[in-house]
Amino acid sequence: MTSSLHHRRTRIVATLGPASSSREVILSLAEAGVNVFRLNFSHGSHEDHADRHAAIREAEARVGRPLGILADLQGPKLRVGVFENGPVFLKEGQSFRMDLDRTPGNETRVCLPHPEIISAAQPGSHLLLDDGKMKLRVVAVSEGVLDTKVVVGGKLSERKGVNVPDVTLPIPALTEKDRRDFDFALSLGVDFVALSFVQRPEDVQEARDIADGRAWIVTKLEKPQAMEALEPIVRLSDAIMVARGDLGVELPPEEVPVAQKRAIAEARRQCKPVIVATQMLESMIESPTPTRAEVSDVSNAVYDGADAVMLSAESAAGRYPLESVEIMARIASRVEQDDEWRARMDKVRFTPEDTIQDAIAQAAWQVSCTLQAKAIAAHTKGGRGALIMARERPHCPILALTPDINVARRLCVVWGTFPHVTEHERTAYGIEELAAPAAELAKTLHFCVKNDRVLVLAGRPYGHAGSTNTLRIVTA
């Protein structure tokens, strides 16, 4: 049998960047356990991303298992203008004006080249500058002008970011740059497209219309407004990312863990994968080992049942990208050997929908526990059957068998699911013809040994999406 690292349920997403763009490093990261690679379109050219995409596909062929590729769009970046004489220092209690005048700013004013903010803000609204390091309160609004009072001061440099946590801004989630990047990412054939700064369900629907089934839409939760509309946003998304960086700027820090747990629970309830991201092993940008607090942070996401945990700068620009992946895999694998982790997965289970697929998945969970099955082989055309089975958090791994490589790559982000591309797509197969080969494959892939029990899920007739209606128990 292979090690527990190979059969780790929690998936790992790793961001590529200057520290991890060579073919050798990408292959080593895949071999260390990365399931999905993230291309951050906030940085790099289209040529850079195309080269990394090709390198991932080469690594996929080398490691012999599907790898997902996620294109993360930048989204609308709100920034202040420039200053005449370099950075200024804002003092608590002072007045500070923000306006549409493009003239370089000074200690008393600066250009805010976003009329949407000025038109939406009201007296009492707050503006956060430079990732929340400074805080302004709006005291008056006039034509093209916000007069503010400095609540928390500090050094303000030009083009620093602006967050408006308590206002829903009338701006689209997709900028013109995002639309160009979106089209390019789809032309590459990425498996996921992540949306930044989503505020409304309509933002997700717009992206779904553009993707038109060519990629899964991953909605990043980083605005309080998105948390307020969590249920409909999750419903329209294919997957969710808890992006704790900007979410932690716009929400009080003590609210972020609560939001994270809410998002994980809601996503699991709706059978949608959820990724926990940002600063998970931040110190490993410079250090070969993480802090104990970071290890606990990753562990807590695993205990909560997150489908995936993500590395950002740790793997993109840090000194230890490979070590970051290795330690993240070790943390997740260790937690998954804990009886308390198993008890939590069993405790948080949801009432199935009134569908045959849901009923079969719930039955498979019970049967697999009773018989101590070593694997559940789920034949799936579009991936839905594997998603429903994964929501149950079974005690044994899910071997997702699909004839579609694109479906297999998308399932790389799903908890406990090990996608494998089958060589056939005939529709004449019955469960009898599917069961024995599935058990043999589970044995070949080291999920079980001879005489172990394996559950096989399939639909009759075979090959129709959403038709899982049969459960068969076989002996390997």
List of residues 6+ apart from 202 with CB closer than 8 A: none
- Of the residues 57, 65, 77, 79, only one is catalytic, namely 79
Amino acid at 169: L
Residue 200: active-site member? no
Amino acid at 446: H
- Of the residues 10, 148, 278, 380, only one is catalytic, namely 278
Q: Report the C-alpha gap between 469 and 451 in whole angstroms.
A: 25
- Of the residues 220, 223, 443, 453, only one is catalytic, namely 220
- Of the residues 8, 9, 11, 38, only one is catalytic, namely 38
Residue 460: active-site member? no
Q: How long a stretch of residues is the chain? A: 476
> What's the N-to-C CA distance of the chain in angstroms?
15
Q: Report the C-alpha gap between 20 and 273 in whole angstroms.
A: 25
Residue 443: active-site member? no
List of residues 6+ apart from 15 with CB closer than 8 A: 37, 38, 40, 72, 310, 311, 312, 313, 315, 316
Residue 269: active-site member? no
Q: Chain-centre distance of CA 19, in angstroms?
A: 21
Residues with a known catalytic role? 38, 79, 220, 278
